[in-house]
Structure 1
């Protein structure tokens, strides 16, 4: 069934007009008509079954009917990634959404070659991925900031998995010890991925000195930023996230 992210409030009987892009997609691409049913979510009110009530040249209108799934949130996991080329950033955001990251934070470093990003475009990528993966929320994508600024405003309770390509950090699976308790993985985490040229010696020294940072290795090969982000997210989810059912209380 077609799923759409709709920013409007969702409740039984709510009448909603979809935006032009969604209206064109339903009417012209998917050939939907009055009476057809689809799923809608907004990241707050759960997933709802909605029915098309009108199809015009300007918009498609729908009415929310029944709650299909109550709202649920995934792990409190941020992906922090140094800016890379546009195509790779889009891939990173798409896969972060698929792999359950709650937020994507872009940073610039001493060796970053790009410092601009179209956050509106990246948000659209995240929405499409959320629609496809059946998650009930959309990861928030933030404007790029300097790595120093991000560290200066850090919440000390959030652990930072620092993917260090230098080769002298412990393997990631030696650090991510699965917690079988019902609350396992419940604390906030972040994963940090560096730029194509790696972190500078000064940045590495700063990161390794942070009390909440845990340097890890992603193996013997130097990975591109998008590959490193996907690998680290998958391993974190498998060890501490929502890929493995927690034991009953």
Structure 2
């Protein structure tokens, strides 16, 4: 998408948007815009909601804990929702992993509880906040959906019912070294998902389960052992380069 008004603050709002209307920001957004960014009446920002595109807005009123914006004009049309599913075993740096998945074009983000997960306590609202922050910073218009956490075995058992013909890619540390680009290129045009394991990787049983499923495609990420968050960025980049929107 064109980088329109790239120097202005961008805010995600959950309400319908159209030119000429006025909208009110919530307390958190008001504090960020007025107290953190030091904006005042007459200043501009860009707002988006994930469905109506992006709009140039003007601050028209600042009350104690409330800001009103007038939408001037649409600056970007809504981009199609991304279809790439990104499943990850929760790690300590949840914010980083979700932000990077959002930046890299994941459309659905879902925590998957595997055997070696060390950070099983999840706050869905925080996960959404991380995705929204990344979307605001990187001019992403289609904010990914945060799906409820799911157990590894349940995910695989329900895959066909939930995901249909989607192919699931997983990064196999024990796979023979081979070009992941060649493997992923053969999947171009198919609906794709990516599953990233936790610190410590998948258990032997989990790996064998994955390798025994027809809808699963393993890839190698090279001779080095990568951290889970690094592996996520590397694999997402490969997918977008070989079979995605790059």
Structure 2 counterpart of 1:177 = 185
Query: Once superposed, which parts of structure 1, at least 4 consecutive aligned residues long, lie more than 3 Å away?
Result: none
Give CA-to-partner distance per residue, 1:18-39, whole Å, 9 cap, x none.
0111111111122212222211
Structure 2 counterpart of 1:69 = 76
Given the alignment, which residue of 9, 12, 29 partners 1:22?
29
Give CA-to-partner distance per residue, 1:7-58, whole Å, 9 cap, x none.
1110122211101111111111222122222111000101111111101112
1:199 aligns with 2:207: no
Q: RMSD of the alignment, in Å?
A: 1.6
SS in 2 for 1:151: helix
Give CA-to-partner distance per residue, 1:189-215, whole Å, 9 cap, x none.
111111212212221121112111101
SS in 2 for 1:176: helix
TM-score normalised by the chain length of structure 2: 0.90
In the alignment of these two chains, the number of paired residues is: 236
Structure 2 counterpart of 1:80 = 87
Structure 2 counterpart of 1:238 = 241
Shift of 1:175: 0.5
SS in 2 for 1:31: coil
Paired residues for 1:97-116 under 5 Å = 97-116=102-121
Given the alignment, which residue of 56, 59, 81 partners 2:63?
56
Shift of 1:73: 2.0
In 2, are the aligned partners of 1:162 and 1:193 still within 8 Å (CA)? yes
TM-score normalised by the chain length of structure 1: 0.89
The gaps in structure 2 that reach 5 residues or longer are 1-7
Shift of 1:170: 3.8
How far apart are the structure 2 equivalents of 1:198 and 1:89? 16
Shift of 1:169: 6.3
In 2, are the aligned partners of 1:76 and 1:188 still within 8 Å (CA)? yes
How far apart are the structure 1 equivalents of 2:186 and 2:223? 23
1:161 aligns with 2:169: yes
